[in-house]
DNA sequence: CGCACCATGTAATGCGTTACATGATTTT
DNA sequence: AAAATCATGTAACGCATTACATGGTGCG
């Protein structure tokens, strides 16, 4: 799956594994992320499959840059993937919910404390979506005026993050109130 | 992480790997799931660590049942995990958002079609949370009246699912409207 | 007669993380 | 003087999925 993220970015412009990590952290990290090491190994596999190709750009005082670009084979693979509709809901994993499910023997106050920690984290995340993420998208969009349609979709992914965090905070508030009211001890 | 789910269930009652799969599918599958094969291998690892123990229950005409139960060591491990607050937000992966992010070259109609498929799936999921999941929890709660506090927390996890799907549908409606209005072609 | 359910497990493969290994340049 | 940034990669390990392998019971 990371393969498609890499192909997607390389369709905008050729770049290195290092660049790909930077740009993912800035843009897709809220719904897709990867470690540097995985990016390097995945690029290697993509090159073996002929979906990308690389050229060495010599540098002094630094390791040479290995610049990857997408091939026609890679473009086809990306398009095929984009065209195939997702026919299923992906199963999620939410560690907090798993803990909560089994948390009855935990004390009421300890439980409220744990949910309070999450409330802080999600509040901060919401602010990030509303300000920083928005700014990053505006900046990309103004740098590439030919990609106006893209910017609309980028903002749709940002809105998902914003709405998700709003929902999360509402759920936390509701859950903390229920625990306060109905749990003994 | 699956280890804690298994320990959590075994704290209610001893059971087999098969039973654990059934009960997970009925209760935690919306935020934690596992394949049968992974459950079997994980139970083996847990036994090697002394956190669970198993006894063979002979049967005729069927494979013997291997019934697992939690040990004091396992109970301690579970409690330690439950007591440690989650200090981070878990990074998520949403394939649909990844596709949407790179979907500008996809035709407007194809895109709306793909989002329409998701709308159907999530509407059905929302109904499930509102009816079937609710019923399952009520049934468990009435079967184990000593676990009233647990039932409150189980319902909190169900509410997360319900609120998540409501949010998802609202986001899909908004996004489809934006694409309809702002994307050309 | 065929399908779903009960019930166990192993092997191969893939995806992802952590740790290891190096080193100059730029910023604070 | 220390920390962050630029820039590459490999190796070991762990978690998760898919495929393989078996076979009786009960229901429609």
**% of chain B exceeding 70 in pLDDT:** 99
Handedness of CA A78, A80, A83, A86 (dihedral sign): negative
Taking residue B41's Cβ as centre, other Cβ atoms within 10 Å add up to 13
Q: Closest CA to D19 C1' — which residue?
A: B37
- The answer, as to whether pTM is greater than 0.85, is yes
B17-27 vs B2-12: helix axis angle to the nearest 10? 100
Q: Closest CA to C14 C1' — which residue?
A: A1
- Residue A62: its pLDDT value, please? 85
Q: How far is Cα B172 from Cα B156, in angstroms, rounded to an integer?
A: 24
- Residue B60: its pLDDT value, please? 83
Q: How far is Cα B16 from Cα B54, in angstroms, rounded to an integer?
A: 9
- Bridge partners (DSSP) listed for residue B52: B70
pLDDT one-digit tens code per residue, A75-130: 999 999 999 999 999 999 999 999 999 999 999 999 999 999 999 999 999 999 99
Minimal Cβ distance to A121: which of B1, B89, B96:
B89
CA atom of A93 to C1′ atom of D24, Å: 36
Q: What share of chain A is helix, strand, coil (3-state, %, to 5)?
A: 70, 5, 25
Of the candidates A160, A134, A143, the residue with the CA atom closest to the CA atom of residue A12: A143
Provide the token pair at A31: 């719904």
pLDDT band at residue A2, thresholds of 50, 70 and 90? very high
Average pLDDT over residues B102-111: 96
Q: How far is Cα B148 from Cα B145, in angstroms, rounded to an integer?
A: 6
pLDDT one-digit tens code per residue, A125-144: 999 999 999 999 999 999 99
Q: Scan residues 129-158 of B and list those with Cβ closer than 8 Å to A.
A: 147, 149-150, 152-154, 156-157
Using the CA of A93, give the nucleotide whose C1' is nearest: D16
Task: Round the average pLDDT of chain B to a whole number and report it.
Answer: 96
Minimal Cβ distance to A8: which of B102, B154, B182:
B102
**Do the beta carbons of residue B95 and residue A4 sit within 8 Å?**
no
Torsional class of A30: left (φ above 0), alpha (ψ -120 to 50), beta (otherwise): alpha
Using the CA of B63, give the nucleotide whose C1' is nearest: C7
Residue A185 has pLDDT above 80, yes or no: no
Q: Which long-range contacts (CB under 8 A, 24 or more apart) does B175-183 make?
A: B175/A156, B175/A159, B175/B100, B175/B115, B176/B112, B176/B115, B176/B116, B176/B119, B178/A152, B178/A156, B179/A152, B179/A153, B179/A156, B179/B108, B179/B111, B179/B112, B179/B115, B180/B108, B180/B112, B182/A152, B183/A149, B183/A152, B183/B108, B183/B111
Burial A48-58 (b: 16+ CB within 10 A, else e): eeebbebeeee
Average pLDDT over residues A55-71: 93
- Residue B174: its pLDDT value, please? 98
């Amino acid at each position: 799956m990371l393969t498609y993220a890499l192909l997607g970015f390389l369709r905008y412009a050729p770049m290195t594994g290092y660049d790909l990590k930077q740009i993912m952290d800035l843009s897709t990290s809220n719904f897709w992320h990867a470690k540097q090491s995985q990016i390097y190994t995945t690029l290697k596999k993509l090159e073996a499959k002929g979906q990308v190709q690389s050229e060495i750009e010599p540098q002094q005082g630094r390791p040479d840059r290995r610049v990857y670009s997408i091939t026609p084979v890679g473009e086809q693979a990306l398009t095929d993937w984009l065209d195939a509709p997702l026919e299923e809901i992906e199963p999620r994993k939410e560690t907090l919910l798993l803990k909560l499910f089994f948390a009855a023997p935990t004390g009421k106050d300890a439980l409220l404390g744990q949910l309070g920690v999450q409330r802080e984290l999600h509040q901060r995340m919401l602010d990030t979506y509303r300000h920083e993420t928005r700014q990053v998208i505006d900046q990309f969009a103004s740098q590439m005026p030919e990609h106006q349609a893209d910017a609309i979709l980028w903002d749709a992914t940002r809105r998902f993050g914003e709405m998700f965090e709003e929902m999360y905070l509402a759920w936390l508030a509701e859950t903390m109130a229920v625990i306060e009211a109905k749990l003994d001890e």
